[in-house]
Amino acid sequence: MFSLEQQEIFDRYKHPQFAGSFEDADLIAEGINQSCGDEVKIFLKLDDKKITKARHICRACAICTASTDFLLEKLEGESIEVIDTISVEEITERVGIPLSPIRLKCALLPLEALKNTIKA
């Protein structure tokens, strides 16, 4: 039997709430996990520093897809500066299931992609 947390992850995997893309994105972040082939693409629309719209296209496992969806849910309406303050613990807490080192990479891929793009 799936735990409630597992159910939520698979629910977000099958029915992501922030899936999609749009053309006039102000920031596009891409992340690839070489070891397992997960691919994440995140689109952000900004009004000054405020994230007004966030969407993603994930070709990835459930943990990576759900983690991306959770992250965008948190980011919409926030300042882009929030991204740099999000910790690993915040991500793992939201994902809610124990993560082995290899699965932790799946969960962190969207945050790392965003942080790397902002830095660059």
Binding site for other proteins (CB under 8 A): 1-2, 6-7, 10-11, 13-14, 36-37, 59-63, 100, 103, 106
Q: How far is the CB of 10 from other proteins (least distance, A)?
A: 4
- Closest to other proteins by CB, 53 or 103: 103
Angstrom distance (rounded) from CA 71 to CA 92: 11
- Closest to other proteins by CB, 53 or 105: 105
Q: How far is the CB of 17 from other proteins (least distance, A)?
A: 14
Angstrom distance (rounded) from CA 8 to CA 62: 10
- Closest to other proteins by CB, 61 or 113: 61
- Alpha-carbon distances of 44 from 1, 26, 75, 86, 105, rounded to whole Å: 36, 6, 9, 17, 22
Q: How far is the CB of 113 from other proteins (least distance, A)?
A: 18
Angstrom distance (rounded) from CA 77 to CA 4: 27
